[in-house]
Each structure stands twice: as structure tokens, then as C-alpha cells.
Amino acid sequence: MAPPSAAAVDTPNVTDPSLYLEGIPHDRFAQIRATPGLAWHPYEDGGFWAVTRHAEVRHVSRNPELFSSAIGHTNLWDLEADALEARRSLIDTDAPDHTRLRRLVAGAFTPKNIRRWEETVRAITGELLDEFVAQGGGDWVDMVAAPLPIQVILTMLGVPTDDADYLVELSNYLVEGTGDAQSIPPDAFGNTTELRLLPFNSPASHALFEYGEGMRQQRQNDLRDDLVSHLVQAESDVERMSRNEYRNMFHLLVFAGNETTRTAISHGGMALAAFPDEWGRVLADPGLIDSSAEEILRWATPVMHMRRTATTDTELAGTPIAEGDKVVMWYASANRDEAVFEDPFRFDVSRANGDHFAFGGGGPHLCLGAFLARLEVTVLLEEMAKRSICLEQTSEPVRARSNFVHGVLSVGMQPAGGTN
Amino acid sequence: MAGEEMVRVAVDQELCIGAGVCELLEPEVFELDNDIVISSVTGDELLPRARADVVVDRCPSRAIAIVEEEL
């Protein structure tokens, strides 16, 4: 690990999970962005290069041969070799393993194939919004932001939507695992595996693995037209997918398929409530729906960073990077980079530049669910507009204690001026 | 105008991860095979250079290239 240069020791801390209880520490990121070169950020026994500007995040993201996803870990802390193998998912691979695993699921998530789910998404969304209005509001996360994406991804997977609440509960524990304070004991859910071998060091990962194994056994003799059946067929040929790859893929699809879009919708609701004039512009001109969905994604930045590891000595922003150094792409910062986004702290539903990094900074790890998430956010805005739902925030958000997931656990909302 | 120049594009099928971005941007030129989830160039494979540059840039796995040749 490279020694920090004298100039870098003043880098403000952006990893303390408790900071995020108050939201993204944007002032700290702005300070790092304004400092020439890359900032060295101390972390545990070592540290990492904090990549905070849009152009440089893009460079790291788009050059996987220089910046590997398969070495060390894609989170800030390194894993032991056996833990990395046990936990390795699509996220933690480089080509050719990444290409092989990605192709197994990519077909379900292409823009063309995602469009086939539009009516399903619309029906689920309409039902949730009608209930939200009928109840006079409530917890926006509980009533809309969480159930919409989990019901959609479970439908695609072929998992019973009756289990949505349980799988959201597991996801909440996984988010806790990305922070520094877990509320459940190591043996929760009957777990006996060492936590370091489980994704996010969470016993909830054991429960999700068990659930995925149950689905695998069910589908093995009863193949259907769903994503789990597709994976089970692939897993029957070890050249295509191993059992361990199956369980990590199932884990990833359920967790990333619900938690991230939930976060986007949570922040989206908060933004629409905070900037009613902007929502008013959308209501007056439905042509702004697409750009407002992109602005919500930029605003929300559901995944705040990903880490890479340098495969060779290289250089970025004039700063030398040594082979083996950790390099962390802070999407949360790049999405507020004043060099790319004019007036970046303004929520602007007609923003012309949609080059945000809500789905990563480009390159092969482009979010698998990007087009599904766009569909969900777009349909939500369309259905809200159709019902003339304006949101009023009734309580402060409870935010996740995490520097990784920009999660909102709850936030009160009520409809104002609905036409029901 | 360089924008009028028509170029041929090709997909490196080893690199393609099946994201489908090319199929979204240029449905007349690219098509993903739903079984193997790999993109290929279909019949009408010429694109104005400016549009080809966009799809080359937007391909997440850098699998698309402009084939430089005398047309």
C-alpha cells in the first residue's frame, strides 16, 4: 500500500458510517474534489485513493484491466482469500468470469426484454399508490419505495411475492452489515457459518442463501419460465455456473434488485416533496418524466461507492498509483461534480446532462438492473402524475448507518391535493 | 461533413456481456441473441460515423469497434 504523501493527510474522513445518519457528507466530498490530484484516505490499517471527480471515476470504471474487481474485494476492507471465494459474486469478478456470469442473467435485463415487464410494474405501482392515498399517507418506504421493487424482482425470479416482507427484512439486515453496527447476533436465522465468509458479514446472508437453496431444489424438478429456473438450468452444468456462484447470484439479484431501487424511490419522494415547484413542472409537462427520473437517480445515488484494486503501477490525475493500491470510486461525489453538472445541488427535473453514475461509472460492471430501475422510477412518476399526487413530508427520514448504501429506513409522507 | 460518412461496425463476441445498450441505441444494426445473450450486427450494418462513435463509447464492455476500411 502506498504511503500517504504529506499533502494527503488532511483528507476529511468520508468513511465513518455514522456521518451518513445525517446524509452524504457533501461538504467533505466537495473539499476533496477541489484538491488537485487524488486524495489518500486512511482506512483501518492502510488506506485508499479517494476518486471523487466525475472524469476520474469514469476512467477507473472503464479500465477494468488497470483496476480490478476480483482482487481483494469491491468494498473498502480486504477479505481473506477463502472469504473472497465464498462471497464472490458477479460484482467481484473480472473477465472472463464476469463475462460468463453476466451473460447467464443479462438476457433478462436488456432494455428490450425489460420493456415486457412494463404492465406488471404499472399494476403493482398503481395498487401501492392507491393504497397510499386511501390511507392518507404513512411511511413512504414501507408503503411504496420498498414493496414496488421487491415485488417486481420476485416476480421476475419466480419467488412467491408473499415472502416479500421477509426478504425486505433480510435486506435491511444486509444494509446494517455494510455499516459498523449489526442489530442481530451471529447465530441469527440458525447461522453457524463464520461471519467473515458471508456477504456483508451478515447472518442474514445465511438466511438468503438458505432461501435461494430452497428455491433451487423446488425448481430443479419443476422448471418454469422464470429467472430462478434459468439459473438452475445453468447451475446443472458446472462449466456454466457452480453451486457457490448460484447462491451468490441469487443473493445479489434479491438484494441489489430491491434495496437499490427502494433507495432511489425513497430519495425521489423526498425530493419531490422538498421541491414541489419542480414536481409541478412535471405535472404540467409529462414530457419531463424521463429527465426527472434521471435526475432522481443522480440525486439519490443509491450505491455511494465501489472499490477497485490497481493491477499495475499507473497514474491518475497526476498521482502515481502502485500495483495493489485500493482505488475507491465515490459515485456520491461524482454525481455532484460541479465540473459536469451545472449547479449540482439543485434538483432540476429538466437537467439536460443525464451522465450520472447511479449505475456506476460505465464499463462492464454497469448495473445489471439499470433498465429495470429506470422503468420502475419512470412508471412510478407516470402513475403519480396520472393521480395528481403531490407529496408532503411529515417526518424526518431515518437513514441507514452505512457509507456504501444511501439507504432510507423510513420517512413519513402524505398526499396533498390528490384528486381521489 | 464527417457526420454523413457511413462506417461499418463489428462486435467482438468474446467481450460482449449482453447488456443490450447497442440494441437500444441502434436497433436496426444490432441484435442480441436471446439464447446466448451476445450481440451481433444484423443486415443493415452501416452507420453514420457520429452515431457509430456514440454506440462504441456507450458499449459497457468495449465490444464494438468501427471497422476502418475503404468502402
| pLDDT averaged over every residue in chain A | 95
pLDDT value for A7: 47
pLDDT band at A6 (very low <50, low <70, confident <90, very high): very low
Chain A CB contacts of B18 under 8 Å are 102-103, 106-107, 110
- pLDDT average, residue stretch A8-13: 80
Candidate from B17, B20, B35 with C-beta closest to A112? B20
pLDDT band at A9 (very low <50, low <70, confident <90, very high): low
pLDDT band at B44 (very low <50, low <70, confident <90, very high): low
Question: What is the extent of the structural domain holding B12?
Answer: 2-67
Chain A CB contacts of B23 under 8 Å are 110-112
Nearest CA-CA distance, residue A402 and chain B, Å: 28
pLDDT value for A419: 42
Looking at the structure of chain B, the number of domains it has is: 1
- What Cα–Cα distance (Å) separates residue A380 from each residue in A95, A154, A230, A300, A342? 35, 18, 28, 15, 26
pLDDT value for A418: 45
Residues A45-59 pLDDT 10s: 899 999 999 999 999
Q: How far is CA A272 from the centre of its chain?
A: 20
| pLDDT averaged over every residue in chain B | 87
pLDDT value for A5: 52
Map grid coordinates 444494426 to a residue.
B29
DSSP codes joined into one string, A52-109: -SHHHHHHHHT-TTTEESSSS-SSSS---HHHHHHH--GGG--TTHHHHHHHHHHGGG
Beta bridge partner(s), residue A50: A39, A328
Cβ contact B24–A112 (<8 Å): yes
Looking at the structure of chain A, the number of domains it has is: 1
pLDDT at A411 over 50: yes
Q: What is the C-alpha end-to-end distance of chain A, expressed in Å?
A: 61
Q: CA angle, A192 as apex, A201 and A162 as ends, to 5°?
A: 75
- pLDDT average, residue stretch A347-373: 95
Map grid coordinates 477541489 to a residue.
A34
Residue A1 lies in a domain: no
Q: Residue A38 maps to which CATH number?
A: 1.10.630.10
Q: CA angle, A173 as apex, A170 and A177 as ends, to 5°?
A: 135
Residues A383-401 pLDDT 10s: 999 999 999 999 999 999 9
Amino acid at the residue A349: V
Of A402 and A5, the one with more pLDDT: A402
Residues A248-283 pLDDT 10s: 999 999 999 999 999 999 999 999 999 999 999 999
Strands B46-48 and B6-11: antiparallel
Cβ contact B18–A110 (<8 Å): yes
Cβ contact A113–B61 (<8 Å): no
| Cα–Cα distance for residue pair A372/A241, rounded to 1 Å | 24
Amino acid at the residue A16: D
Nearest CA-CA distance, residue B71 and chain A, Å: 31
pLDDT value for A86: 96
pLDDT at B64 over 60: yes
Amino acid at the residue A359: F
Chain B CB contacts of A98 under 8 Å are 17
Strands A408-410 and A67-68: unpaired
Q: Tell me which chain B residue has its CA closest to the CA of residue A359.
A: B60
Q: By percentage, how much of chain A surpasses pLDDT 70? A: 97
Q: CA angle, A200 as apex, A194 and A203 as ends, to 5°?
A: 50
Structural contact between residues A20 and A53, judged by C-beta atoms closer than 8 angstroms: no
| Cα–Cα distance for residue pair A13/A35, rounded to 1 Å | 14
Residue A275 lies in a domain: yes
| Cα–Cα distance for residue pair A177/A198, rounded to 1 Å | 10
- pLDDT average, residue stretch A167-186: 94
Candidate from A102, A110, A366 with C-beta closest to B23? A110
pLDDT value for A420: 41
- What lies within 8 Å, CB to CB, of B15 at 6+ separation is A95, A99, B61, B62, B63
pLDDT at B35 over 90: no
